[in-house]
Amino acid sequence: MQLLPIPAFTDNYIWVLHHAQRALVVDPGEAEGVLHWLKLQGLQLDTILITHHHADHTGGVAALREATGARVVGPTEEPMPEPLQRVDEGDVVTVLGLSFQVIKVPGHTAGHIAFFCPDVDGAPLLFCGDTLFSGGCGRLFEGTPTQMLNALDRLSRLPDATQVCCTHEYTLSNLKFAQAVEPDNAELAAYVTHCQALRAQNFPTLPSSILVEKQINPFLRSRETAVRQAVSTHDPLASNDDVSIFATLRAWKNVFK
Ligand code: ZN
Ligand code: FE
Domain boundaries, the chain: 2-255
- Among 142, 212, 155, CA closest to 178: 212
Q: With contact defined as beta carbons under 8 Å apart, do 30 and 17 qualify?
A: no
d(CA 241, CA 253) in angstroms, rounded, equals 19
Average pLDDT over residues 203-212: 98
Res. 159 pLDDT band, cuts 50 70 90: very high
Q: Which of 18, 52, 53, 112 is catalytic?
A: 52
Catalytic-residue membership of 57: yes
pLDDT of residue 220: 98
Average pLDDT over residues 197-210: 98
pLDDT of residue 170: 98
pLDDT of residue 44: 98
What mean pLDDT, rounded, does the chain reach? 98
Domain 2-255 has CATH 3.60.15.10: yes
Catalytic-residue membership of 52: yes
pLDDT of residue 65: 98
Q: Which residues are within 5 Å of ligand 1 (an ion), measured at CB?
A: 54, 130
Which bound ligand lies closest to the C-alpha atom of 166? 2
Percent of the chain with pLDDT over 70: 100
Catalytic-residue membership of 36: no
Average pLDDT over residues 66-72: 98
Q: Which residues are within 5 Å of ligand 2 (an ion), measured at CB?
A: 56, 130
pLDDT of residue 52: 98
pLDDT of residue 222: 98
pLDDT of residue 234: 98
For the chain, the maximum distance between any two Cα atoms, rounded to a whole number of angstroms, is: 58
Distances, alpha carbon 15 to alpha carbons 57, 77, 96, 155, 168, in Å: 11, 23, 15, 19, 10
- Among 94, 110, 111, 140, CA closest to 254: 140
Res. 244 pLDDT band, cuts 50 70 90: very high
